Amino acid sequence: MTSLGIIIGVTSVILLTSIGNGLKKYVTDQFDSLGANSIFISPGRVFNDNGGFSQSGAIMTTSFSLKDVTNLKRKLDNVEITPANGVFVDISSPFNTQKSIEIDGSTQNFGINNNLAPSEGNGRWFTEEENSKKTPVIILGYQLAQDLFPNSSALGKKVIVKGKTLKVIGVSDKKGSSFGGPSFDKQGYIPLNVAFDLAGNNDIQSIIVKAKNKDSIESTKKQITKIMLEKYDEDAFSVFDSSQLLSSINSIISVLTISLTGIAAISLVVGGIGIMNIMLVSVTERTREIGLRKAIGAYPRAILIQFLIEAVILSCIGGTTGILLGYLGTLAIKSFFPAQVTISSVILAFGVSSLVGIIFGVAPARKASKLSPIEALRYE
Alpha carbons 294 and 361: distance in angstroms, whole number: 20
Q: Give the dihedral sign, CA 109/115/121/123.
A: negative
The predicted structure's pLDDT at residue 176: 66
What are the residue ranges spanned by the domains of the chain?
4-25+248-378, 84-203
CA distances in angstroms from 312 to 103, 164, 273, 298, 367, listed in the order given:
60, 73, 13, 21, 16
pLDDT of residue 168: 93
Distance of CA 330 to the CA centre of its chain: 16
Q: Nearest to residue 257, comparing CAs of 161, 340, 152? A: 340
- pLDDT for res 52: 52
Residues 199 and 193: beta-carbon distance below 8 Å: no
Q: In the prediction, which pLDDT does 157 show?
A: 92
On whether the CB atoms of residues 349 and 13 are closer than 8 A, the answer is yes
Contacts with 351 (C-beta within 8 Å, 6 or more apart), sequence order: none
For the beta carbon of residue 103, count every other beta carbon within 10 angstroms. Answer: 26
| pLDDT number for residue 132 | 92
10-residue mean pLDDT profile of the chain (380 residues): values are 76 83 74 69 71 50 82 87 88 78 88 79 91 93 89 89 91 70 80 90 87 81 90 85 70 76 73 76 76 79 84 83 88 79 79 78 78 66
Per-position DSSP letters for 301-314, written without gaps between them: HHHHHHHHHHHHHH
Q: Report d(CA 380, CA 375) in Å as an integer.
A: 10
Q: Are strands 188-191 and 137-140 parallel, antiparallel or unpaired?
A: antiparallel
